[in-house]
Amino acid sequence: MRGLVRSLFSSATRRRPATLLAAALLAAASLPAAARAAATAWVGDRHAAVRLITAEQATGSMSAIDAGLEIRLAPGWHAYWRTPGAAGIPASIAWAGSQNLRSAKLFWPAPHRYVLDGLQTYGYERDVVLPIAIHLMYPGAPLVLHAAVNYSACKTICVPYHATLHLTLPAGLALPGPEAPLITAARRLVPGSLQEFGLSVLATEVAPAANGRSDLILRLAARGSRLAHPDLFVEGLPQGAPGRPRFTRSISGDVATLVVRRVHDAAAKLAGRTLAFTLTDGPGRAAAFPAAPVLVSAASLPGGVALPLAILAVALLGGLILNVMPCVLPVLSLKLFALTELAGAERRKVRIDLLTTAAGVLAGFAALAGGLIGLKAAGAAIGWGIQFQEPWFLAAMTMVMALFAANMWGWLDISLPGGLASRLGTAGAGSRRGTAFLTGLFATLLAASCSAPFVGTAVGFALARGPLQIAGIFLAMGLGLAAPYLLGAAAPRLVSLLPRPGSWMVVLRAVFGFLLLGTAVWLVSILLEVGGALPALLVGVIAVLVLGLLASRSCIRTFLPSVRRFSTGIAVALAVVAVFVPALGREFLAPSPPPTEVLSGPWHPFDRVAIARDVRQGRVVFVDVTAAWCLICKVNALTVLDRDPVAARLGTPGIVAMRADWTRPSPPITAYLQSFGRYGVPLDVVYGPGAPHGIVLPDLLTPGAVMAALAKAAALPPPAILGRIN
Amino acid sequence: MPHGADRTASPNREAPGRRAALAFLGAAFSSVLARRAEAKVLPLLSRRLVRLHPPEAPPALHFKTATGETQTLADFRGKGVVLNVWATWCVPCKAEMPALNHLATIVAPDGIVVLPVSIDTGGLKAVQKFYAANHIAHLPILLDPDGGIARALKAPGVPTTVIVDRKGLIEGRVEGAVQWDAPASIALLRRLVGPAE
């Protein structure tokens, strides 16, 4: 029918003079006329024309022949990709009447995006060759190609074209024809695999957006190859032609995120649907791959500006609960101890001391919020507690804990945390206040290793949003953590309820000192996992040296003041060196590759792609995202996951238990956390035939909750369970 | 392309400098719009219209309604007609179809009809699907799957639109998409068609 249509638009067959010239030259070279078979004449008009070309001038002895459909377009005219976008007829070829043709497969060079009259179209300009892989029925015999080509080309108007092309390749020596380079060049423009591109998919997600819209999110890990101006073409969508994706990348450049806004499709409609992605980034750089997006909550994308009161209340509550989490307890015990010393003191003094601690807590949260906002603005992957993935932070906190312990044992007058207090600029009003401030600050920095109930929700909500929301929610959490001190400041009489100072305090001091030393040991053990053996050993040795120096200094009272000052100086210098050791370690100390994960018991390494496959095969998948520095994770492991009945259940054949270790920075695991709107560990998810999208378990696991989720996920037929999305 | 055709002057008569400045601002603004929001920015009728001097009698042409009834321009004698030849696979046609849909509701009281004739080989089904997907509710479905109408009008491609006045003569033709429902386009269309009797 299109042939009829074509006839009404004036489309005269036209030979390009250059083609005639080439033919004449070849003829002049005394080649037999039949050998000039590597190209047909152009068929079309001055706007668009096509011809068939082959790489060889004869069939030779091969069973396969490279050919191509070349489309020539006048300036401003477009022809279409196999998925044309808003509208268009892509080239199609019918081979009826051909002889000795077994099969012909058309390939599509990576498309370009054109916005025509405000509509998205995907296609080509100027000149494009669509490579064709032709297989012969009888190798060595002549090949007769009859190609009936349909396509459309558009500028301000559209014209449907129908061209009939005839090409005969004789038998004989398969010498490359003059068009062979055109086909070779076109083959290079056909998208390859992501691996060739130096990329791999971290996650494909779809998140609901306002007004029934949705966002398709593609996160890619780039190894060595950076994306500059990528474009993404998505095929297999129910309707519509998406526009150019929003592109962001992390500062290190190793994670690229492309977001395609879908106006017509609700997120649930796209989830699980296999889509074909074609990623392009400049000429000759293109990759094609299929992926089925996973439904995620909108929280993993920047949302509106509104900050509901509810989430602030959740943050406040989370902060309050952090007071009793094991990660802050050692430092806060220090505070408690300081308070007992204040029991008899005047109200004003108590008030100021407590308010200073609260200020330290808030300063700690402000520092965390500021750091995370900065990292996010720079495009880095962020998360709650990511400072524990940094060796220098671990080293610094180890030294701080060691010094605090020394103070508890009376080896170091913390009225001289020398440099530290003066550096903070709060030292003026007395070192006591400086200590109070530091206690609050360090308690906060340590608190981030815990994801207490409500904390995960608040942090997940905050980190997905803008700077204002992050600051607001972190401030609320800070107020929560500072609440006991603020309460004390409001009613100083409460402090007087604490026991009076006495000789019992000497014992308590020693106990608290060991508690702090324990924290330091814990930090070194994390450093061992994050930074490797050598930095951990060095930091540990330096901490012991510093403690020894301080101990000997305080024991030997006969030291001259200058010697005492000198030894303090050495201790501080050593502590500073310890902080830099792990940083150096990255450069020239053992650049230890991440130790190959040794997972014991039923645990397999985390593999996000395998989850869907295992679930399809009827298995239940339990995913535990953990980190060495996450105390709640340790508690979960010790009390629930490594104990019966859960441990026994995870060991049964129908269940795959996966453990994702977030101790060090890991883009795939960060992406996985974010797909649940989470920015911290622990995260435990159960998948199964009854819960293909996963059931998210509470932060603090109980055997009952885990067993119930496992049973629910295994249930068949699948009931309508949507994963509890945070 | 018909002989004796020339471009109409812009309906506005401003100083050339001011017009150039306005055009520049307009182009800059629309390119920003096109890039930023990828909003549909189509040219006004005056930019694409080719007037016929004198107006010509239309060639013999016919098309079918959704119910299979054959119609010709004679069926609309006494009315102004915007006869639009289009296809569902054509991007500019798709771009201007909402504007034509809107135009039809605006000019119906003036006795002007909008007749979009699809040359889709897919026929009725293709057009019904297109109308549903693009929320076209105020235009009739008119079909000419073998494209005789395009041949008769010597259209170089789609969309091609002819404007027929109340006397049944072609006043002008348009190749490419137009923002039909812009006030300036509507005013020009009313002038071309002539006053209602």
Secondary structure string (H, E, C) spanning A252-312: CCCEEEEEEEECCCCHHHHCCCCEEEEEECCCCCEEEEEECCEECCHHHCCCCCCCCHHHH
Count CA atoms closer than 13 A to B127's CA, side-chain side.
Answer: 24
ipTM of this predicted complex? 0.78
Of B88, B150, B159, the CB nearest to A8: B150
Domains annotated for chain A, with CATH where assigned, are 2-189 (no CATH), 194-295 (2.60.40), 309-587 (no CATH), 603-714 (3.40.30.10)
Provide mean pLDDT across the span B43-57.
90
Going A342 to A348 to A351 to A357, the CA torsion angle's sign is negative
> Residue type for B30, please?
S
Q: What is the CATH number of domain B5-193?
A: 3.40.30.10
Sequence spans of domains, chain B: 5-193
pLDDT at A79: 95
pLDDT at A253: 63
Q: Is A90 on the interface with B (CB under 8 A)?
A: no
Is the pLDDT score of B172 beyond 90? Answer: yes
> Residue type for A457, please?
T
Torsion of CA A658, A664, A666, A671, to 10 degrees: 80
Chain A neighbors of B158, CB-CB under 8 A: 157-159
Mean pLDDT, chain B, whole residue set: 83
| Chain B, nearest residue to A238 by Cα | B133
Q: What is the largest CA-CA distance in chain A?
A: 115
- Please give the Cα distance from A522 to A540 (Å, whole number): 11
Contact present, A255 and A667 (Cβ < 8 Å) = yes
CA angle A116–A119–A124, rounded 5-degree value: 50
Of B121, B135, B119, B140, residue with least CA distance to B76: B140
For the segment A340-395, what is each residue's pLDDT rounded down to a tens digit? 666 666 777 778 888 888 888 899 889 888 888 887 776 666 667 777 777 777 88
Indicate yes or no: CB of B155 within 8 angstroms of CB of A160: no
Binding-face residues of A in 199-258 toward B, CB within 8 A = 239, 243
pLDDT at A441: 82
pLDDT at A36: 54
- Gyration radius (Cα) of chain A, Å: 34
Chain A neighbors of B96, CB-CB under 8 A: 117
A10 contacts: CB under 8 Å, gap ≥ 6: A45, B154, B156
Read off the pLDDT band of B162 (50, 70, 90).
Answer: very high
Is the pLDDT score of B82 beyond 80? Answer: yes
Of A89, A119, A158, the CB nearest to B157: A158
Of B90, B121, B154, the CB nearest to A158: B90
Binding-face residues of A in 315-334 toward B, CB within 8 A = none
pLDDT at A11: 43
Q: State how far Cα B101 lies from the chain centre.
A: 11
pLDDT at A355: 87
Indicate yes or no: CB of B147 within 8 angstroms of CB of A5: yes
- Please give the Cα distance from B171 to B169 (Å, whole number): 6
Mean pLDDT is lowest, of A499-508, B142-151, B188-197, for A499-508
Around Cβ A459, how many Cβ atoms within 10 Å?
A: 29
Provide mean pLDDT across the span B40-67.
89
A294 vs A166, A608, A722, CA distance in Å?
Answer: 48, 11, 12
- Gyration radius (Cα) of chain B, Å: 17
Chain A neighbors of B177, CB-CB under 8 A: 117, 156
Is the pLDDT score of B8 beyond 60? Answer: no
- Residues of chain A short of pLDDT 50, as ranges, are 1-7, 10-35, 299-306, 415-429, 585-596, 717-726
> For chains A and B, what is the number of CB pairs under 8 angstroms?
101
Interface residues from chain B to A (CB-CB < 8 Å): 34-35, 38-42, 48, 87-96, 119, 121, 133, 145-148, 150-151, 154-160, 175-177
pLDDT at B118: 94
Of A4, A152, A157, the CB nearest to B156: A157
* Extended beta strands in A56-142, E state: 64-73, 78-85, 92-94, 101-106, 112-116, 119-125, 127-136
pLDDT at B11: 41
Indicate yes or no: CB of B151 within 8 angstroms of CB of A157: no
Mean pLDDT is lowest, of A249-263, A289-303, B29-43, B181-195, for B29-43
> Residue type for A322, please?
L
The DSSP H or E segment spanning A336 is: helix A329-342
